Amino acid sequence: MATKKMILDLDTGIDDALALALAVEDPRVDLIGIISSYGNTLIETAGQNSLDLLHLLQADDVPVYLGENHSSTTQSFETMPISMAIHGDNGIGNIELEPATKPIETQSGVQFLIEAAHEYGYDLIYLPTGPLTNLAAAIRQDPTVAELIGQTTLMGGALTVPGNVTPFTEANINQDPEAADYVFTHQKNITMVGLDVTLRTLLTKEHTKAWRELGTLAGTQYADMMDYYIDAYDTLDIDHRGAALHDPLAVAVSIDPNYVTTIDLNLRVTYDRESGDYGRTIGDKQRLLDSTTTKVAVNVDNERFVRDFQDFMLDILKN
């Protein structure tokens, strides 16, 4: 029986779709909701993608909420062309899923997060795979959220490797560096699963071939999505060996931290646009002697994770 409750905060692109599948099926966690964010696509599209994926996986009981639809310092959001090149115009590799009949919830995602933090406290895992706008908004509305959530495991940032937007900046942090800095300097019990480790976890078309050979609708559609992602990595010269399992690794680490090696380090995010390193995740020199609130993943047992991930997906997609 699941002992932990999980909330996913997804800008539902292709690797988010994989993360969603793991969270739905892993018996060690109870997925109590998904908050939609912006990033890989627009927030409304991301929310509908999540609903449709839940329907595909026969998990229509999981509610989906809309979070903030743009960063904390802008008035609107437009999907970057590179995001559409990697994830497709609709965020999921231009695959058409059967539409879910269940609508998106009317309650705001931020309010849902605040209420869940109070209800579940230490037993709550909050897992954002996009910008940290929703968590920053929740803390600003209710500062006790920073202490209540038992574990925040995020996919984002880059400490020991270059970013994927600029030489310093990772894409999720780049969407709202001010919110990310606020989270890192306020939220307790954070684990950062960044490019330092996710870039080492590669899936290939040999893996997706096995999904397709299951002969199920879910297997075929997930294989189509992931093949689009792998092709984009190749075409855009990101990696010719396969595509990184960014968001699924974060889900796996939130459940089994032994996949990664971490260091304890209080972080900040630079958000001065004139500094030259806008959006950089870096150690906070003002808190070097303070007790640490953040663990940063710097190494990963990639062979074990990719093997376990493939086993999990084959089990998920067989029905």
- What residues are labeled active site? 11, 246
Rounded to whole angstroms, the Cα distance separating 229 from 13 reads: 10
DSSP state of 70: S
| Beta-strand pair 124-128/151-155 | parallel
Rounded to whole angstroms, the Cα distance separating 35 from 43 reads: 10
Beta-bridge partner residues of 41: none
- Sign of the CA dihedral running 114, 169, 83, 238: negative
- Are residues 34 and 20 in contact, defined by beta-carbon separation less than 8 angstroms? yes
Rounded to whole angstroms, the Cα distance separating 261 from 277 reads: 26
The pair of three-digit structure tokens given for residue 62, joined into one six-digit string? 């999981």
In sequence order, which residues have a C-beta less than 8 Å from that of residue 55 and are 6 or more positions away? 97, 98, 99, 100, 101, 102
Residue 27's alpha-carbon distances to 23, 126, 251, 253, in angstroms, are 9, 17, 13, 15
The pair of three-digit structure tokens given for residue 49, joined into one six-digit string? 């993608």
In sequence order, which residues have a C-beta less than 8 Å from that of residue 2 and are 6 or more positions away? 27, 28, 29, 30
> Nearest 5°: CA angle at 293, between 292 and 298?
80
